[in-house]
Amino acid sequence: MDDKIETAAEHAEAEALRRCGAATTLPGHAATAEQEPLPEAVAKKPLEQKSPAEWAYQRLILYIKNFEKTLDDEHEIAMGFTDTGAGFLRIEGLGYFDPDIVTFYGTDQAGGRVQLVQHVSQLNVLLRAMPKAVETEEPRRIGFELAKALDDSA
């Protein structure tokens, strides 16, 4: 506990402020999910009214959508399980999203871009750019489809 004194308005404003951040060493890297504004549907419900699962779900959608924005037409998103020896991640950036998510940005052993989003209690999700299926004309963008669900639930 600290000795900081704040007015009710300052306390309310501090609670409403978004607490997140990211840093990356990638030149010309697009804005990360932590740096993008929250969609209105996500920001509308106060954080203290969300369960950890709901909040993690919403942020995973934002991470997936943001990751997909960086893919070319030859790649789609895939998920690897980090506890199965699926490879390594060369860390090139690190971010957080209060209250419970951290994310690692980097590349794998083949030079592919990799992002790991992890709940502080050990949730492991590895988002990876993989070549799109040869038989498909357009790459599938599930993040944008999932983001529609966030808007529909508002």
pLDDT in tens, 80-95: 655 656 566 666 776 7
Average pLDDT of the chain, as a whole number? 75
Confidence of residue 114 (pLDDT cuts 50, 70, 90): confident
The domain spans of the chain are 36-152
Does the pLDDT at position 43 exceed 80? Answer: yes
In three-state form (DSSP H/G/I as H, E/B as E, the rest C), the secondary structure along 36-91 is CCCCHHHHCCCHHHCCHHHHHHHHHHHHHHHHHHCCCCCEEEEEECHHHCCCCCEE
Query: Residue 5 forms beta bridges with which residues?
Result: none
pLDDT in tens, 7-23: 665 555 455 556 788 88
pTM of the model: 0.61
